Every structure is written in C-alpha cells, then in structure tokens.
Amino acid sequence: MTRTLLPLLAAASLTACQNLPGTAPDIGDNLVLLSAQHCLQEAVGDNDRVHYGPCLKITDVNGRKPAVRSDGFITLAVGQAATLGTACVYRLADGQPIPATVETAIFEVKRDTFTRGGQRWYLHAHKKARGVIGCSPTLARSVYPLEETD
C-alpha cells in the first residue's frame, strides 16, 4: 500500500507544480499576458461581506485598441516599452459601476517592466480596494489588492 501511495503522491505534487496559476506556456518566453480589465474587492469583517473596489480597463496600447484574447488578457512583448491608456471606475455596494467616477490614467510599461515571458499580470486601479481615490494603475502578479485596508 505504501509503495503505491508514495509514487502517486509524488506524481500528483509534481503535476500541481507544473500547473501553477499565473503561468501561460502557450504564449512563449517573449510575451506576457496582462488582464485587459480587472476589479478589486476585499472581504470586510467576519460576515462574509465584500467591499467592491475600483475597476480598471485598458483602453489602448500605444494609441490602438487592444486585442483582447478570449480569456480576457492582452499580450505584451517582454523587453519592449509601451504606453497603456486606462480607465478606472468605482463601484456601489452591490458591485455596479458609478459612471460619474470614471477617470483615465496612463501607465508606462518600460523595457525592464517585464523580464520573463509566459506570465500573467494584473493592472489594478489602485494598491488597495478600500479608502482610495482616483486612478493609480498598479501592476501586480496577483488578482488581490497589494495592500489590505485596516
């Protein structure tokens, strides 16, 4: 029994390591995937409540409408500078956008912003989901806010 179980567990753990979220082997080493649209949210208290934070959408890449893949990501070349136009909007308690809060901002991708290909990235509207104002595009490898709100 132990002889069968150990190799099975080892194989399962190796398979899990090879399928880590955030890697995209289908795009190769010279491209990264960047979410075309992303909304922040944060759990509030112990009541399973969710605070719906701001959303960000990439409106253009170097002045052109981005080609959004079926998975909601755009591709960007590793080691290449780009100018991303973005629009941010805040949301009501039910998650619906508040049109009067739309702001735009430019996010500059520098040549050294992405150094490894085959990765998924997210452009957040801000570092936090709560207690923030304006549109401050923040690059992250995670869908979660970079900072928790006190």
| Residue 17 belongs to some domain of the structure | no
Q: Residue 140 in contact with residue 124, Cβ under 8 Å?
A: yes
Per-residue model confidence as pLDDT tens digits over 3-57? 444 444 444 443 333 334 445 556 778 999 999 999 988 888 777 788 888 999 9
Domain span including residue 93: 26-140
| Residue 42 belongs to some domain of the structure | yes
Q: Quick one: pLDDT at residue 46?
A: 72
Query: Across-strand partners of 106?
Result: 85
| Residue 97 belongs to some domain of the structure | yes
| Residue 105 belongs to some domain of the structure | yes
| Residue 5 belongs to some domain of the structure | no
| Residue 119 belongs to some domain of the structure | yes
Q: Quick one: pLDDT at residue 42?
A: 84
Per-residue model confidence as pLDDT tens digits over 70-108? 999 999 999 999 999 999 999 988 889 999 999 999 999
Q: Quick one: pLDDT at residue 112?
A: 96
| Residue 8 belongs to some domain of the structure | no
Dist. CA 83–CA 105, nearest whole Å: 10
> Which two three-digit tokens encode residue 120?
């998924």
Dist. CA 148–CA 74, nearest whole Å: 27
Q: Report how many domains make up the chain.
A: 1
- For 84, phi and psi rounded to 5 degrees? -105, 125
Q: Quick one: pLDDT at residue 81?
A: 97
Dist. CA 88–CA 132, nearest whole Å: 12
Q: Quick one: pLDDT at residue 93?
A: 84
| Residue 93 belongs to some domain of the structure | yes
